[in-house]
Amino acid sequence: MTEQMKEENKAKLIELGFWGATEQGAHVTDHRDSQTLQERLARLLTDDVTLASTGVSIDLPAQRVEMIKGRSVYPLATADSYLEATYLAALALPEFLRQHPECSTDQK
């Protein structure tokens, strides 16, 4: 991933409110930052909804991030790595919550 792509990705996360404008980090290339991002996404969900990933190993291919509510599983993102899947999940979460407002802690 080029530096320009990293900056564009960071800008998207800042725009969505998932990353601070002055906050340091390389959320799509750093494992800890990606975990921080996933924790922030999880805070937007009601207590009966779980944000799950297939694992947090950087080495595993085809990582998935899913929403689990009761017996329902909603795929949110799939990518070649946990880092990328978490980033894609952040981009997909606002639309998911629009379609499933009952899963959001912000039920306006």
Q: What is the CATH number of the domain that holds 74?
A: 3.30.2120
**Are 86 and 53 a contacting pair, CB within 8 Å?**
yes
- Answer yes or no: is 17 within a domain: yes
Spatial distance between the Cα atoms of 29 and 31, rounded to a whole number of angstroms: 7
C-alpha pair distances (Å), 45 with each of 33, 59, 94: 19, 28, 11
Q: Which whole number is the average pLDDT over 45-71?
A: 80
- Answer yes or no: is 18 within a domain: yes
Q: Rounded to two decimals, what is the model's pTM? A: 0.83
Q: How many domains does the chain contain in total? A: 1
Non-local (6+) Cβ contacts of 16 within 8 A are 90, 91, 94
At 64, give phi and psi (nearest 5°): -125, 150
Provide the pLDDT confidence category of residue 55 given band limits of 50, 70 and 90.
Answer: low
Q: Which of 15-29, 66-80, 87-101 has the lowest mean pLDDT?
A: 15-29
Provide the pLDDT confidence category of residue 6 given band limits of 50, 70 and 90.
Answer: confident
Give residue 73's domain range: 3-103
Kindly tell me if the per-residue pLDDT of 46 is higher than 60: yes
pLDDT by residue (tens digit) across 68-94?
999 999 999 988 888 888 889 999 999
- Answer yes or no: is 108 within a domain: no
Spatial distance between the Cα atoms of 64 and 6, rounded to a whole number of angstroms: 20
Kindly tell me if the per-residue pLDDT of 60 is higher than 60: no
